[in-house]
Structure 1
Amino acid sequence: MGRAWLHRMKVIPSTYHQMVSYPTEDGQINLLSSHSFLTPDELELLESVLQRNKDVFAWTHSDMSGIHPSMASHWLNIIPCSRPVQQKVRRFHPDK
């Protein structure tokens, strides 16, 4: 599913829920998930294959050999001898 297809079909992808929602002619939004197309037997087979092969998935950064730590690391560019400063509260909503 490329971005062009998503825009052309006017679907809303959700990586968190692993689903795609799309509007229909009558205004309803239908949800599709990858496992909704599987029969119970196929779903059970898929789960067993994933369980048997769970050692091939990378669970930590050290499992991903070939990726340099500088690509997976983040640090803040601060001066070590500077003092922390508390900034004033910024209210964005006038009612609060």
Structure 2
Amino acid sequence: MQGLAVLVDLLGMLTQVLVMLIIVQFVIGLLFAFNVVSPSNEFLRQVYDSINRLLEPVLRPIRNIMPDTGAIDFSPLVLIFGLQAIILVLGRIVAGY
């Protein structure tokens, strides 16, 4: 059972990394949207594009299921809630053994 606990801990760490990437993507997007940082800033543009390429395969199915809300994209929030729920359930399953 200890192996299962280690696996859940590893999944928890991966979830935290994904959440941090989503937050960084959101913040950079806001900086671009409100012209705090110029979109022609190559470094931030590359970081933003790289994070988008990493997260797009995970976010696209969520976007396909969710209704169109216009300019606001709630799929990252749904992903964060979903990941946290999965980790919570797995943690409870491991604690029950």
Tell me the TM-score range normalised by the shorter chain: under 0.3
Q: Kindly indicate whether structure 1 or structure 2 has the higher relative contact order, using CA contacts under 8 Å at least 6 residues apart.
A: 2
Structure label with greater radius of gyration: 1
Task: Give the number of the structure whose residues are more often strand, by fraction.
Answer: 1
- Structure 1 length-normalised TM: 0.23
Give the TM-score normalised by the residue count of structure 2.
0.23
Write 1 or 2 for the structure with the bigger share of helix: 2
